[in-house]
Structure 1
Amino acid sequence: MRALPQQRRLADGRLHLHDGPIDLIIEAFGETSAIATAYAAAWRRFLTILDELCGELALLRADPNGGLPPKGPVARRMAAAVAPFRARRFVTPMAAVAGAVAEEVLEAVTREGRLARAYVNDGGDIALHLGPGETFSIGMVDRPDRPNLFGRATIGAADHVRGVATSGWRGRSFSLGVADAVTVLAGSAALADAAATLIANAVDIPGHPAVKRAPARDLDPQSDLGDRRVTVAVGSLMPQEIDRALAAGAAEAELWQGLGLIEAAALRLGDRTRLVGVAGRSYQFQAGAVLPSNEARSRHAVG
């Protein structure tokens, strides 16, 4: 029998919800009564999410082509998020699980409280609510397993960004690539989550002796990646090798941006960053050691 879901208010007023592998940080901005109502709604919705997902886990881990559609609301969000990518890449609904959970809880938060802005952060995959004239400044980590920031993205209410997600081989989930971190901005957290996974997979140097891999099934018998070889260690890479890996990831990001699935991405490997989709946008990226994509070669901000 698993432990019961837990909730607590942090010292700074944010709400922390925990249940098994799901760990959420929620913050709402508005009148005190509206925030209290919003947090209560988040807790009520959170109580059953893990059980709902566990009930359909076998389906969500399987290749969705030709299978039965999922029934639960979070599972449906996951399947819908990965569907646009499936024609070109192997991806299961599990690639969008964290973003979809964040979206589902944010919907509960905003449904019952009049809030200026709010966010739900599920381990770095973030769903955003922005009222008119509001902004969020999002820190970008240089690798998912530690809190160091290499840059920030400022997002306004008028931007078409309501989700941020980060993926990389050091993160909670397996990766086929060598990216330390890929941060994606998209119209929803579930879309950002799926895209970050695929872009991080594409940041790669196939066959490089410094990159150690193992079948996903050997590390987790239940992994949706099966026998695909995932990255378990990345040794020293030459600057030109880093550039080549980032270029491959940037091409992947540009594909999804061109299809309207993401707004922008920041790809990080070693001490280098490549930005995609920033030129001409109202939101702002600030990052160091930037290698611009072709479209942003002279117009991105470096700081």
Structure 2
Amino acid sequence: MITITAPGTVKLDYGPMQMIIAAQGESGPLSEAARQAALYAMTILAELAEYRQIAAKPQQEIAGSANLPAALKRMIAAVQTSGDTTLTPMAAVAGTIADLTADWLAAHGAVKAIVNNGGDIAVRLTGTQTTRVGIAPAIGHKPTHMLALDAGQGIGGITTSGLGGRSFTKGVASAAVVAGATAALADACATSLANATYVEHPAVKVAWAEELDPNTDIRGHKIVREVGLLPPAAVEQALRQGYSKADDLIRQGLIAGAAIFVQQQLVMLPAGFVTEIK
């Protein structure tokens, strides 16, 4: 279902995909373009559904991509570029669809396009356009911080991974937020970053992924299903591990910045990457 919620903004609810699409042209809001972009996003998801088995394979087992759809090629490239060999292409699916939808809008006259695919956001800004993205300390919570963006920063994706999201996580972060050149790569890196925050503690309950979802793409992987109250030392360890992983990703040029939340505690790279909402 596609619903126009404001001038230039539509909400898409299509199977597992809930997306908000906002588009603005030189002369104002682009409601019809946003609606057409939603239809385009639906075709991407429908096409990917036909390749679900390949997308769920470990990246090392995917022999070639010549005959695969463009979206799946981007997903594979994103997880491979992230350097995390434990990720399947599904780790980049939401960001990839957001990217392609935002690119479609940019190609059809949008000077400002924001596509929020369930918390994985693609942003396209040109000229003097700016925007602000809210950053929440936990998935599904109200934003407490924000990230200001302009066209010159080269940031095209802001994504979040962590406990309570649509996908499983191996870490204890309530939110690992990453900004990068594309939403696809940021999506893969956010998954890897959230996973890096795992700490062993009686309050951290784990399970095999297939026990919770027989159709999971990470069978044989242990995931975190529940986290109780952690002592300060465990929170500090989780944040330290997340910080180290984020620093490595930044040094490689894979992401522009990150914010990691563990039980209301926050670390970020670089300093001042996000600012508190007053």
Length-normalised TM-score, structure 2: 0.93
Range with greater deviation from structure 2 (22-31 or 93-102): 22-31
| 1:120-135 aligned within 5 A | 120-135=115-130
The answer for the alignment partner of 2:224 in structure 1 is 231
From 272, 275, 278, the counterpart of 1:286: 275
From 132, 148, 152, the counterpart of 1:137: 132
Amino acid at match of 2:91: A
Contact 1:143 1:171 in 2 (8 A): no
Contact 2:160 2:176 in 1 (8 A): yes
The sequence identity of aligned pairs, in percent, is: 33
Range with greater deviation from structure 2 (26-35 or 262-271): 26-35
* Residues 91-149 of structure 1: CA deviation (Å, up to 9, x unaligned): 11110000001011111111112x331110000100001011221111101111x2311
Contact 2:171 2:198 in 1 (8 A): yes
The answer for the alignment partner of 1:75 in structure 2 is 72
Structure 1 runs (4+) deviating above 4 angstroms are 31-34
Unaligned 5+ runs, structure 1 = 1-5, 289-302
Distance 1:201 1:120 in 2: 25
From 246, 262, 277, the counterpart of 2:255: 262
The answer for the alignment partner of 1:185 in structure 2 is 179
Distance 1:85 1:129 in 2: 22
| 1:1-303 aligned within 5 A | 6-11=1-6, 13-31=8-26, 35-70=30-65, 71-86=68-83, 88-113=84-109, 115-144=110-139, 146-206=140-200, 208-278=201-271, 284-287=273-276
Shift of 1:32: 5.9
Distance 1:170 1:57 in 2: 23
What is the RMSD computed on CA atoms of the aligned residues? 1.8
Change (3 A) 1:274 1:34: closer
SS at match of 1:48: helix
SS at match of 2:205: strand
Shift of 1:169: 1.6
Amino acid at match of 1:156: D
Amino acid at match of 1:96: A
Distance 1:287 1:52 in 2: 40
Change (3 A) 1:205 1:47: closer
Distance 1:196 1:29 in 2: 28
Distance 2:103 2:199 in 1: 40
Contact 1:41 1:112 in 2 (8 A): no
SS at match of 1:268: strand
Contact 1:69 1:76 in 2 (8 A): no
Amino acid at match of 2:275: Q
* Residues 22-64 of structure 1: CA deviation (Å, up to 9, x unaligned): 1110111235677145224303412322221111111111112
Paired positions, count: 276
Distance 2:146 2:156 in 1: 16
Contact 1:9 1:16 in 2 (8 A): yes
